[in-house]
A and B are shown apart, each in its own frame.
Chain A
Amino acid sequence: MGNVSLTASSDRVNLAAEPLLRRPSTIKRLMRSPSAIIGLVIVVSLVLVAIFAPLIAPYDPIKQSFRIQLQPPSIGHPFGTDEFGRDILSRVLYGARWALFVGLLADSIALVLGVTLGLLAGYFGGKTDGVISLLTDVMLAFPYLLLAMIVVAVLGPGITNAMIAIGIVYIPQYTRLVRGTVMSIREKEFVEAARCIGLSPFRIIVRHTLPNCVAPIIVMATLAIGWAIVETAGLSFLGLGAQPPTPEWGAMLASGRNYMLSAWWIATFPGLAIVVVVVGFNILGDGLRDALDPYLSHR
């Protein structure tokens, strides 16, 4: 998954302290990038659609109507209807809620646990680092979808468990990122000074180390929301995530798969929605990286 350049850039951004996003230069740099603005617009639109879905969706997303099954796109149903006569546009709009929920929850699980483990491993080093790094290596040895499948097998199929599974799968990405950043700053004078004046390790980690990891974490968190949306949709597509009749994009794709040759619109529109949203998070993430790390912005 795409964190290669993140880790490479983390050393250079780590000394930028706390109020990164409040700095005028960071915001200016972000706003100078047309692609980042497009990303921001897509992400804000997703949030608005998710909030106002009941107001803007023309029909009930789960109400079946067998008189209008498998209707192609028309003025009445711009995205057509599915095998149960449900309006696909309404289902795609409601699906934005699930996408946002899934992305945020899975990403939050990975972020909280991954960052905590990364801080501990990076700051304390030694045996703590050894154990956490081994755990990270073990998790990275699994194909991520198979690992997620095991977690879903343990917890049972369902959208919430699929989100938890994807969250767990992404923990090592954050751990590695933060560990590397913390290791590069733990010997710096300001951390040494904090130790000398007797601050507790907890306080040093939270007040002095964590703020220096904020930039790469923000970038990673933005990109990971998009990845989490795709992966959770993948689990739903396999029948391990959202179950019918939930209007979740991956589950919609799974049901549309059987009608791909006769009713192309059922799987096409939810798939397009996933692509647009993930492109949004990806370019916003890239834009944030460039804004937070000017060294890379010429690439």
Chain B
Amino acid sequence: MFKYTVRRLLQLIPVLIGVSVLVFVGMHIIPGDVAVLLLGDKGTPEALARLREELGLNQPIYVQYFRFLADALRGDFGISLRTRQTAWWEVRQALPMTIELSLCAMSFAVIVGVPIGVLAAVKQYSLFDSISMIGVLISVSMPIFWTGLILMMIFGGRLHWFPIGGILDEGVNLQRITGIHLLDALLTGNMEAFWSAARHLVLPTIALGSVTMATLARMTRSSMLEIMHQDYVRTARAKGLSRRTVLVRHAFRNALIPVITVAGLQLGILLSGAVLTETVFALPGVGRLAITSLLARDYAVVQAVVLVAAFLIVMVNLMVDLLYAQADPRIRYE
């Protein structure tokens, strides 16, 4: 396992370098002069020349890349044009919100999706199987932003069950410790803030988690059906184990292996979905930060968001791979 982990870690290096090259090149060829953007109307030719010199924009492209890489490794992504704060500070402020939303969405997807998949497989061709698979099909076909708008309209606007935007009710204050609202509320014992954040998170969680929920339900059903036709499951039944024991101890545990992989790979989809969900529900996460910064041509922040998001995805994929290898020894010895 140790060798496998080291090998996978080494394989990450070229991917992370590739990611940094792609982001650097992308940001470099975007039309517009960074110095002009930074100085705005006040930029005299001398001031512009001085700033270009200062930012190293008149150096060869490879020098600029290595400088960018060294800065990025130190967490220095430049200054935000909009707020004049560092881009890294902006990301740090917004990231916990996105992590909170993604974790809630993933929990919702697993808690709802996996049992639906198991039941649909156990009751294959039943009414439940048909209805749940139609539901799954519709869920994966619904654009996240539209799901969000519909939920907002019905449960927020008409029924008034949940708030339609933001993360805390007006007048509710919460001391920031981690930036994750539910966690901070628990750590400070502020239950008013906890329930306020929880109510605000319900609709975005369902909107963001619905596609992943449907994907997991489908994957679990398919995986369970495959496992239930395996010889060892038949053997377990033949030796007299109850149907329940066979399903839980033999089929479900093994069927979960591919489900874990798919769940991990969904992170990229959740992060992409977060851009849309946070925009719909006005949540202050990195998704909303990315789109606001992009529309304002605040590329330092866009660059920071993209690099951090890509790094997170690569790391989660690595963890999924290691979990998978732990669960299935055949992978390690390939």
| Chain A residues within 8 Å of B, Cβ to Cβ | 1-2, 4-5, 134-135, 137-147, 149-151, 153-154, 156, 226, 230, 233-234, 237-240, 250, 253, 256-257, 260-261, 264, 267-268, 271, 274-275, 278-279, 282-283, 299
Contacts and interface: CB of A to CB of B under 8 A. Distances in A.
Interface centre among B222, B272, B280 (most CB of A within 10 A): B272
A154 B29 contact: yes
Given A5-B222, A138-B19, A271 B268 contact: no
Contacts of A140: 268
Interface residues of B, number: 56
29 contacts: A5-B222, A134-B18, A138-B18, A138-B19, A138-B22, A140-B268, A141-B19, A142-B22, A142-B313, A143-B268, A143-B310, A144-B272, A145-B273, A145-B275, A146-B305, A149-B275, A149-B294, A151-B26, A153-B30, A230-B141, A230-B143, A238-B275, A238-B276, A253-B143, A253-B145, A253-B146, A257-B149, A260-B157, A268-B153
A2 B140 contact: yes
A260 B225 contact: no
B46 to A, nearest CB: 29
Contact of B309 (A146, A154, A156, A282): A146
- Residue in A2, A146, A153 whose Cβ sees the most chain B Cβ within 10 Å: A146
The 7 A-B residue pairs whose C-beta atoms are closest, nearest first, are A138-B18, A145-B272, A271-B146, A278-B141, A143-B271, A261-B157, A143-B272
Nearest to A150: B26
Contacts of B222: 5, 299
A233 B146 CA distance: 10
Contact of A138 (B15, B149, B280): B15
B262 interface: yes
Contacts of B220: none
B141 A279 contact: yes
B171 interface: no
Contacts of B260: none
B18 to A, nearest CB: 3
Contacts of B186: none
A149 B313 contact: no
Given A4-B262, A134-B18, A153-B299, A257 B141 contact: no
Nearest to A156: B31
A133 B26 CA distance: 20
B313 A237 contact: no
B194 to A, nearest CB: 27
Contacts of B302: 149-150, 153
Contacts of B22: 138-139, 142
Nearest to B22: A138
Contact of B290 (A146, A233, A260): A146
Contacts, number: 144
With a 10 A CB-CB cut-off, give which of B273, B294, B313, B314 has the most chain A CB atoms. Answer: B294
A233 B137 contact: no
B248 interface: no
Interface SS of chain B: helix
A33 B16 CA distance: 45
Contact of B310 (A141, A154, A264): A141
B15 A137 contact: yes
B291 interface: yes
Given A230-B143, A268-B150, A150 B23 contact: yes
B274 to A, nearest CB: 8
B215 interface: yes
A260 B215 contact: no
B295 A239 contact: yes
Given A146-B272, A230-B143, A279 B138 contact: yes
B32 to A, nearest CB: 10
B72 to A, nearest CB: 15
Contact of B149 (A4, A233, A271, A275): A271
Given A134-B18, A137-B18, A154-B29, A260 B138 contact: no
A143 B313 contact: yes
A142 B18 contact: no
Nearest to A239: B295
B88 to A, nearest CB: 17
B310 A237 contact: no
Nearest to B152: A260
B276 A234 contact: yes
Given A154-B29, A238-B279, A261-B157, 13 more contacts: A4-B258, A142-B309, A143-B268, A143-B313, A146-B309, A147-B306, A150-B302, A153-B302, A234-B144, A237-B145, A253-B146, A264-B153, A271-B142
A139 B16 CA distance: 11
Nearest to A147: B306
A238 B302 CA distance: 15
A134 B39 CA distance: 38
Contacts of B219: 4
A157 B12 CA distance: 33
B271 A146 contact: yes
Which of A2, A143, A283 has the largest number of chain B CB atoms within 10 A?
A143
A144 B268 contact: yes
